[in-house]
Amino acid sequence: ERLRERIAQFFSRLEAQLKQVLREAQIRENLKPAVSAAALANLLLACCEGRLVQFVRSEFNDSPLEHWDLQWEFLSSQLLTPFTATATASSA
């Protein structure tokens, strides 16, 4: 039971850290998320958890990094987009 609690705490902290990084990217890099930082953080966390589950299910034979370069290229291109004043004016 204690291990489950520690794992849950680990993933909660990871999700909180992802949210913070995404929020900082919005401010520092002038990027706009496709959806909320919370939703994006949850999506990234689900990807991490899913990869771990696949690795365990394969009895630690299939690398969790298989196809990751292509998948990350796709995901990262969709997560945040440059924010411009014209985009704000046209969406208002």
- Print pLDDT tens along the chain (92 aa): 999 999 999 999 999 999 999 899 888 888 877 788 899 999 999 999 999 999 999 999 999 999 999 999 998 888 877 766 555 555 55
Q: Which tokens is 65 given?
A: 């990094």
pLDDT at position 5 is 97
CA distance 22 to 27: 9
Q: Report the C-alpha gap between 79 and 44 in whole angstroms.
A: 10
pTM of the model: 0.77
Contact call for residues 82 and 27 (beta carbons, < 8 A): no
DSSP symbols for 32-64: EESS-HHHHHHHHHHHHHHHHHHHHHTTT-S-T
Instruction: Say what the pLDDT of residue 85 is.
Output: 55
